[in-house]
Amino acid sequence: MTDCPNTSSPVIRDIIAERVSRRSFLSGVATFGAVAAGGGFVGSLFAGESFAASAASSLGFTELKRVYDKDMAVAPGYTAEVVARWGDPMAKDVAEFAGAVPSAAEQLLRFGYNCDYIAFMSLPKGSSSADHGLLCVNNEYISPNVIFAGMTEDDAGQKMTKDQVDFGMAAMGHSIVEVKMDGGRWAIVTDSPYNRRLTVETEMHLSGPVAGHDLVKTKADPEGRIVKGTNYNCGGGVTPWGTVLTCEEGASDTFGGKTSASPIAAVLDRYGFDGSDIYGRARFHDRFDMDKEPNEPNRFDWVVEIDPYDPASTPIKRTALGRMSHEASTVVRNKDGRIVVYMGDDDYFEYTYRFVTKAAYDPARPETGKDILDEGVLSVARFDADGSLHWLPLVHGEGKLTAENGFASQADVLLKTRLAADAVGATPMDRPEDFETNPVTGRVYAVMTKNKKREQDKLNPANTRPENLWGHIVEMIPPGGRGAEADHTADVYQWDLFVLAGNPKDAATKANFHPETSDNGWFVCPDNISFDPEGRLWVATDGANDFGLPDGIYGVDTEGPARGLPKLLFTCPAGAEATGPCFTPDGKTLFVSVQHPAEDAETLDKATTLWPDFKGTLPRPSVVAIRKQDGGAVGA
Ligand code: FEO
Ligand code: CA
Ligand code: CA
């Protein structure tokens, strides 16, 4: 990740100047309510809600005690069971994982590494089955330091052999596995025809304004329309027509060579392409060497649409949704039928985006979803000190997005999304990770993981803490009403700071949760989120290990007397982050990806855990199913 100190635009300077009045407003509200100042929860500043003196959380479970450990742990009355581990067979006649790193060819038949975003897609298609479906799971990256003996994170890119590099390419991407519940336990259907691995070698189409553009043409694809594979898949989303969106996050780490051969070298620099090649690909595969194939990087960092119900389908990169370190792609069908996708660009000082389709989607005619994501308006958010949020369109020919300013076409705007967002004066955020819409209230939650690089003179109304090591959650409030009445296409929303993460007992953090938050309940580094069917927010964290704590899953009410009061449900084993929380439609299973267990170890021989098997030498990233022992809804 690179530092992008893009705070030079006049609009941003104005916002920073305004933050003082915003802060006065904050403290005014804090003293207006029943909670004492000094970390008291401030409620919803702009919607007129306040906080309660006594919390009545809607979450019925007894909170887990937080312990950093070799094993995962879950709250009393719950079970957490492994469903799919790295290396588990995904095809008939493939042997059980034997404890050795598979070859690339073998890995293609096995569940991928470092599971991340999870979509549960009910079977049969169109049903809301909660005990049978497809788990569509991103496999974001590999952790060579705990896969291969004698390698560290820093030297693996130079040390890996071609076989090891090829294994890595086969272990990243996306895994689709059929799963069934039997007797309260989930298991993979090993020989399912739906089972499929997608990797950086899988053929995909480019669609939307960038397809066929000169900057995406390569030796292997002179038309600029057919791409080999997807890469660094992190967050995602599900469309109403039954497809999965997988987000390409960090292509910059997977390329070697120099950007200078590119006609848009400055753009690649802005996107962090520094030739780091941390998985060693450029040494063996020319297309990952920017000196040899300068346009190949432009074919990554898009949102990719996958049809998991058709194993023969070709995934499609939807370029109209912009190019960035894509994290979330949360899909909402607006009340007028148009499809809205909220997206974050996960890097320091990057932005919050929204895409609104031109056409409406008709649920009675699922075919209206086909290619609907190819045409629409991409916008970027400016958070003002008065509590208003303005969506600034990134449309070629409007405002500064003209040829004179380096944007020759809409394709050009999209290839240079970050620069277009700079030009219109978007608000630089503290690493925007996951976004989700509350199905009950219609409010949209945008998670800022952290930003150690934010300095005092770069503060703005939505990013209020210098050296933000703890992260925060921003609430975006569309006009129009609750739930389905919310207008997700409006130009202007309101916004609020939902929680400021950190230890509330440490005043220096300026953490802000509900005042009754327990010693186990506060969290740091919120990362991925999900809503249960009741509209409660579930937060997965990534970065607690830096504070001597396990990462985990916290439930939290977003309205009512316990608004902003988190409770700890689940903790990961050592070195792992919790990612991709995903509920079945009945709310009774919460799937969670336990990503990169033991990755905090310098080398494999020092692995901090061998979770989940606790035998052999290899820890295994895995998807876990959390269920209530009495069969009730998670959190009830
Ligand atoms: Fe892949 Fe932004 O986490
Ligand atoms: Ca993430
Ligand atoms: Ca999510």
Stretch 188-200: mean pLDDT: 98
Residue 53 tokens read as 């003196």
Residue 257 lies in a domain: no
Q: Which percentage of the chain shows pLDDT scores above 70?
A: 91
Q: pLDDT band at 615, cuts 50/70/90?
A: very high
Q: Can you give the pLDDT at residue 55?
A: 63
Taking only the tens place, the pLDDT of each residue in 97-127 is 999 999 999 999 999 999 999 999 999 999 9
DSSP codes joined into one string, 412-424: HHHHTHHHHHHHH
- Which residue's CA is the closest to the ligand 1 atom numbered 1? 234
What spacing in Å lies between the alpha carbon of 569 and ligand 1's midpoint?
22
Residue 281 falls within a domain, yes or no?
no
pTM: 0.93
Distance CA 594, CA 512 (A): 27
Find out whether the beta carbon of 347 lies less than 6 Å from any atom of ligand 1.
no
- Go through 268-296 and write b for each residue having 16 or more CB atoms within 10 A of its CB, e for each that does not: bbbbbbebebbbbbbbbbbbbbbebbbbb
Over residues 459-463, the mean pLDDT reads: 98
> CA 624, 625, 629, 633 torsion: positive or negative?
positive
As a whole number, mean pLDDT of residues 378-392 equals: 98
Q: Would the CB of 327 count as within 6 Å of ligand 1?
A: yes
The CA distances from residue 399 to 6, 107, 270, 621, 632, in Å, are: 19, 49, 22, 47, 53
pLDDT at 164: 98
* Percent above pLDDT 90 for the chain: 91
61 C-alpha to ligand 2 centroid (Å):
26
Position 498 in a domain: yes
189 CB burial (10 A radius; 0-12, 13-18, 19+) = middle
List the domain range (segments joined by +) for residue 386: 13-251+300-628
Q: Quick check: 16 pLDDT over 80?
A: no
Q: What is the sign, positive or negative, of the torsion defined by CA atoms of 121, 124, 130, 134?
A: negative
* Closest ligand, as measured to the CA of 577: 2
Q: How far is the CA of 529 from the centre of ligand 3 (A)?
A: 4
Residues paired with residue 460 on neighbouring β-strands, in sequence order = 463
140 pocket-lining for ligand 1 (C-beta < 6 Å): yes
Separation of alpha carbons 238 and 391, rounded Å: 23
Reduce the DSSP state of residue 99 to 3 states and report it.
Answer: coil
Query: Of 55, 81, 79, 76, whose CA–CA distance to 64 is shortest?
Result: 76
Closest ligand to Cα 529: 3
Question: For the segment 128-170, what is each residue's pLDDT rounded down to a tens digit?
Answer: 999 999 999 999 999 999 999 999 999 999 999 999 999 999 9
Instruction: Tell me the CA–centroid distance for residue 32 and ligand 1, in Å.
Output: 38
Q: Which residues surround ligand 3, an ion (CB under 5 A)?
A: 434, 528, 530
What is the position in ligand 1's atom list of the atom closest to the CA of 249? 1
Find out whether the beta carbon of 166 lies less than 6 Å from any atom of ligand 1. Answer: no
Model confidence at 25: pLDDT above 70: no
Structure tokens of 554?
């916290």
In a domain, 561, yes or no: yes
372, pLDDT greater than 60: yes
Tell the residue nearest (CA) to atom 3 of ligand 1. Answer: 234
- 483-499 tens-digit pLDDT: 999 999 999 999 999 99
| Structural contact between residues 202 and 139, judged by C-beta atoms closer than 8 angstroms | no
pLDDT digits (tens, 9 = 90+) for 582-602: 999 999 999 999 999 999 999
Task: Supply the pLDDT for residue 194.
Answer: 98
- The minimum-distance atom of ligand 1 relative to the CA of 433 is 2
Cβ atoms 512, 563 nearer than 8 A: no
CA 292 / ligand 3 centre spacing (Å): 37
What is the model's pLDDT at position 42?
A: 42
CA-CA distance, 71 to 190, in Å (whole number)?
26
Parallel, antiparallel, or unpaired: how do β-strands 316-318 and 203-207 relate?
Answer: parallel
Structural domain contains residue 378:
yes
**Contacts with 424 (C-beta within 8 Å, 6 or more apart), sequence order:** 11, 380, 382, 392, 393, 394, 399, 400, 401
How many whole angstroms from 324 Cα to the centroid of ligand 3? 17
How far apart CA 38 and CA 18 sit, in angstroms, is 22
Extended beta strands in 129-230, E state: 132-139, 173-182, 185-188, 196-198, 203-207, 226-228
Q: Give yes or no for residue 433 CB within 6 A of ligand 1.
A: yes
Q: Comparing C-alpha atoms, which of 552, 590, 588, 582 is closest to residue 570? A: 552
- From ligand 1's centre to the CA of 326, what distance in Å? 8
Ligand 3 mean position to 285 CA, how many Å? 33
Does residue 172 line the site of ligand 1, with CB under 6 A?
no
CATH for 378: 2.120.10.30
pLDDT over threshold 90, residue 52:
no
DSSP 276-302: --TT-GGGT-GGGBTTT-TTGGGG-SS
Determine the pLDDT at residue 33: 28
From the CA of 579, give the closest atom in ligand 1.
3
Residue the block writes with tokens 């995934």: 315
Q: What is the pLDDT of residue 250?
A: 84
Q: Do the domain assignments include residue 87? A: yes
Mean pLDDT, the chain, whole residue set:
92
What is the Cα Rg of the chain in Å? Answer: 23
Ligand 2 center to residue 98 CA distance, Å? 29
Domain count, the chain: 1
- Tell which atom from ligand 1 comes closest to the C-alpha of 325: 2
Specify the amino acid at residue 546: D
Residues forming a β-bridge with 89: 110
pLDDT score of 92 more than 70: yes
In a domain, 172, yes or no: yes
CA pair distance 319, 612, nearest whole angstrom: 38
